[in-house]
A and B are shown apart, each in its own frame.
Chain A
Amino acid sequence: MKLKVGFYGITGCAGCLLSVIFNEDEILDLVDLVDLKAFPFVKEVNIDEKFDYVFMEGLVADNDDLKTLKKLRKNSKFLVSLGACASTGCVPAYRQYTLKENYEHLIYKKQKRLQDLKASPIDDHVKVDYYIPGCPPDKKEIVNFVKNLVIGKEPKPFESPVCVECRQNGNQCLLDLGKPCLGPITAGGCDAVCINGKFECWGCRGPTKDMNLDLMIKMLRDRGFDDKFIQDRMRTFVGLKMPMIEEYMCSTGTANRLKTSFKGKKEYFE
């Protein structure tokens, strides 16, 4: 029997679901490997029950999202968090670290039907069995994940930092150029795609389990970045999955005791 699979999205940008479809060479065969019961983004009729696997894109932003999420959790054996919004809350959840007055005027006060909730990743509300991180995930990663499920192989997360693949690709280290790259503390598996394009890593796949946050903070300070900038960057994609950065940064924090220095140019746009 084929695995019963559904692809769903709650509040998000549809980028992760698109990444599924953008597997131009594989998509038509891929959907044949499974019993695709639901994919509302491209399908008219969607039967939302008795799933083996539900892939969920998006974060919980209102009560509608929560209702959908809970129902699908109940109706599936395994829930897969697809992409950064579902896994970490991504950029929309960054609003927790901004001043309320920044977006307060955008809120319509009389709303009744859709109630805003704290923008949060789905594992704040339900149990998640697997994570495919990234904003968006590598499209091949999604295909491989499904293929693994079909042949009964347990999917394994990529645990080494982005720097591993970045070195393999022979990229010039952006930290050496004085740019605020978060590659050293970020889980890889993305083929260091942003640094391949000479753009620094913003950490969208979430921190590695054994990250050295102290050293990262110190390295960024050495390069002339102030603490607010460092905090903002680290929180943009994965703030809710980071430890209390302030504690690392305060005067008694261990980041202050590290002895490193940076002799390159300190000029990142400013």
Chain B
Amino acid sequence: MSKTITLNHITKIEGHASLSLGIKNDKVTKCELSATEGSRYFEGIVKGRRYYEAHEMTSRICGVCSCAHVVAAISAVENAFGYKPSKQTKQLRELMTLGERIRSHATHLYFLALPDYVGYGSALAMAKKYRKELQNALNLMKCGNGIIKLLGARELHPVSATVGGWLKIPKEKEIENVKKTLISVREDALKTFSLFSSLNYPEFETESVMFSLVDKNKYSVLDGTFSSGNMKTTKKKYREHIKEYQVPHSNANFVTYDNYQYQVGAMARINNNKKQLHNKAKKLLNKSKIKFPSKNPYTNNFAQAVELVHCIEEAIKLCDSLNLKEEKLDKLKVKAGTGIGCIEVPRGTLWHEYTLDKKGIITNANIITPTAQNLFSVQEDIKELVPSIIKKKKKDIIMDIEKLIRSYDPCFSCSAHFLEVKWV
């Protein structure tokens, strides 16, 4: 018996994607996950522009993680000039990144993932029965947005972060207020954690290797080495290991590490940095029935809930350690060279690379987003998963697949500005 499943517009994800699946005699004959977002060619567009314009333009790659693109682009440019930002600047960048992670995880968990698990078509339809739960989400989102708005002046595509420093330093009192909000949403994060540890995640194991930035002393945000156990690469040598290649069915690159499929994101981060989690999150994780390291991509949702608890505590700590003073922007010594920025963002590790000429004009750019890195892994997981659920009804097969795709929290807007491709 043969079946074909085509999901043309997968809903409840960022951006546009489709899946084409062929099944014959209970075997998968075709499995192609495609990003169908139109190509925007950001890497081409920034060529010819000045080094201090890259972050403002590339933040438009993605609304959900615009802070991430801003910080990664700035780090890459600073890296090219051999410049190291001040402690205060780094703290502000980190706090903004944490704020974004809180906002993004809350949005994804409640608006995109949860409806699947409680049998609703959308979070908005859940409002009558699950108003309290949704209120948790909205509180968390508001807290994250508050942090980003205070530091970056805008909630989406923040502007105050820039090359060489920070344009508008927040006032101490404003940071105090942010801290108060963070304390007030602690409860919401705990409830989110309980909710997501009580869900029944389908059993499944991926073969993907788990990659993230790893730092001995700290749960990774802006620093660390890109690694998975013994496999690791310095930023400088990333191109020797990470390869991007085109596939004929998708609008985004597929990415491998030393030819292995790999996964980035909250689950990979916890797998690699469990020890560095905040004590509160660590305790919760140890008590939970879901064990880490985990190889089940469905538990990425759970990992995001753990990170919510962690990020809120870390952000509170950061607020306490801030000792804000006015700092003038540093004048950068413009010179020719290549710089790489690599940071952990809500969906995984984000890479920005720019080559600049001696006047600071961008002559080349390369951006690898978390979703691009996950795409191969998602597709292979679907291929693995389908034979085990093949006896189910078509509707249920689709549900399981969609759940799997959404558990990765893919962002196809991000991944699909690079390449063209399609039915050949």
Closest chain A CB from B371 CB (angstroms):
12
Indicate whether A14 sits within 8 Å of B14 (C-beta atoms), given known contacts A42-B123, A95-B45. Answer: yes
Q: Closest A-chain residue to B141, C-beta based?
A: A24
Chain B min CB distance to A86 (Å): 13
Q: Within residues 89 to 131 of chain A, which ones have a CB less than 8 A from any CB in chain B?
A: 90-92, 94-95, 98-99, 102-104, 106-114, 116, 119
B14 contacts which of A41, A95, A194 (Cβ < 8 Å)?
Answer: A41
Which of B83-91, B149-157, B298-306 forms part of the interface with chain A?
Answer: B149-157
Bound-state Cα–Cα, A22 to B140, Å: 11
- Complex CA gap A262/B383 in Å reads 65
Interface residues of A, count at CB 8 A: 70
Report if A149 contacts B (CB, 8 A): no
For B47, list chain A residues within 8 Å (CB).
Answer: 98-99, 102-103
Q: 0/1 per residue, A1-37, Cβ < 8 Å to B?
A: 0000000011111111111011011011001100010
A98 to B47: give the CA distance in the assembly, Å. Answer: 8
Q: Are B157 and A135 in contact (CB under 8 A)?
A: yes
Q: Which A residues lie within 8 Å of B162 (CB)?
A: 199
Residue in B39, B48, B423 whose beta carbon sits within 8 Å of that of A116 in the complex: B39
Given A28-B127, A43-B11, A198-B168, A236 and B157 contact (CB-CB distance below 8 Å) = no
B422, CB-defined interface residue at 8 Å: yes
- B316 to chain A: which residues have CB within 8 Å? none
B12 within 8 A of A: yes
Which residue on B lies nearest to A94, using beta carbons?
Answer: B45
> In the complex, what residues of A have CB within 8 A of residue B168's CB?
196-198
CB distance from B410 to the nearest CB of A (A): 12
Chain B residue at minimum C-beta to C-beta distance from A190:
B154
* Shortest distance between the CB of B213 and any CB in chain A (Å): 24
Closest to B155 in A: A22
Establish whether residues B421 and A108, one from each chain, have CB atoms under 8 Å apart when the complex forms.
yes
B164 CB → nearest A CB, Å: 8
Given contacts A12-B413, A269-B52, A40 and B40 within 8 Å (CB-CB): no
- Shortest A216–chain B CB gap in Å is 18
Note all chain A residues with C-beta closer than 8 A to B11. Answer: 40-41, 43-44, 46
In the bound complex, do residue B157 and residue A136 qualify as a contact, i.e. CB atoms below 8 Å apart?
yes
Report how many residues on chain B are interfacial, defined by Cβ distance under 8 Å.
Answer: 75
Nearest-neighbor residue (CB-CB) of A104 within chain B: B44
Contact B157 A197 (CB under 8 A): no
Contact of B124 among A36, A196, A199 (CB under 8 A): A36
Q: Give the contacts of B122-175 with A (CB-CB under 8 A).
A: 122-125, 127, 131, 134, 138-139, 141-142, 145, 152-160, 162-163, 167-168
Separation in Å of the B342 CB from the closest CB of chain A? 21
Nearest neighbor of A96 in chain B, beta-carbon distance: B45
Q: Are A41 and B44 in contact (CB under 8 A)?
A: no
Q: Between A and B, how many residue pairs show CB distances below 8 Å? A: 217
Are A139 and B159 also in contact (CB < 8 A) when A11-B37, A36-B124, A113-B423 are?
no
Which B378-419 residues sit within 8 Å CB-CB of chain A? 411, 413, 417-419
Q: Are A92 and B45 in contact (CB under 8 A)?
A: yes
A145 interface residue (CB < 8 Å to B)? no
Task: Report if A98-B48 is in contact (Cβ < 8 Å); known contacts: A12-B413, A46-B11, A135-B157.
Answer: yes
Q: A197 and B167: CB pair below 8 A?
A: yes
Asked if A41 contacts B424 (CB within 8 A), the reply is no
In the complex, chain A residues whose CB is within 8 Å of the CB of B422: 108, 111-114
Kindly state the separation between the CA atoms of A161 and B84 in the bound complex, as whole angstroms. 38
Q: Which of A42, A99, A199 contacts B48 (CB 8 A)?
A: A99
Q: Does A202 contact B (CB under 8 A)?
A: yes
How many Å lie between the Cα of A61 and that of B154 in the bound state? Answer: 27
- B64 CB within 8 Å of chain A: yes
Could you list 22 examples of A-B contacts with CB < 8 Å?
A: A11-B37, A15-B62, A15-B66, A19-B155, A22-B155, A40-B11, A42-B111, A42-B123, A44-B122, A62-B39, A92-B42, A98-B44, A98-B48, A108-B246, A112-B423, A114-B422, A193-B159, A197-B159, A198-B160, A199-B167, A269-B52, A269-B332
Q: Taking A92-B45, A102-B44 as given, write out 11 further A-B residue pairs in contact, using a Cβ cutoff of 8 Å, ordered by the A residue number.
A: A14-B14, A22-B145, A28-B127, A31-B124, A43-B12, A60-B38, A91-B42, A92-B60, A106-B419, A198-B153, A232-B49
Instruction: Point out residues on B near A: beta carbons under 8 Å.
Output: 9, 11-12, 14-16, 36-45, 47-50, 52, 56-57, 60-64, 66, 107, 111-112, 115, 121-125, 127, 131, 134, 138-139, 141-142, 145, 152-160, 162-163, 167-168, 246, 248, 251, 332, 334, 360, 411, 413, 417-424
